[in-house]
Amino acid sequence: MTATLGSGRPWTDPACPVARTVDLVGDRWSLLIVRDAMDGAATFTEFQQRLGIARNILTDRLRRLVDHGILTTSTAPGGKRHSYELTAAGRDLFTAILALRQWGERHAFAAGEPHSILRDLDDNPIAELRPENRKGAPVTAATTRVRKVH
């Protein structure tokens, strides 16, 4: 039996964690929804206003994020609107979002071009992410390898 996404579509590369993650949250809108949820957006209207996304696309992405356990919903007081909240799995995407942000700060803007800046709650800058092995030594693509499963 072939493992599939909730849509019945097969995984891009069933044994690769990167491919599975991209299958789940790798499109533009899903990552921006997760980013905005981390920044406090919780309702359909808030996401739509922040992103300028078409209603049908937003509806689809929110449903997929809920189906895959990245967001959860609750009914707002009054019973008509859903409120969306990141699950533990969704909150666990913070490091990935931060890595994308830091890459963008280094490579997606011209020198001196203004852009948003992420700071901690005491207004301190965020340290650059630096991958390390379990002994604390820095690692790069050149110093790691993928062990394939058979």
Other Cβ atoms within 10 Å of 28 Cβ, number? 11
CATH topology (fold) of 17-143:
Arc Repressor Mutant, subunit A (1.10.10)
Burial of 77 (0-12, 13-18, 19+ CB in 10 A): exposed
Tens-place pLDDT, residues 96-131: 999 999 999 999 999 999 999 999 999 999 999 999
Assess contact for 25 and 70: CB atoms under 8 A: yes
Predicted TM-score (pTM) of the model is 0.86
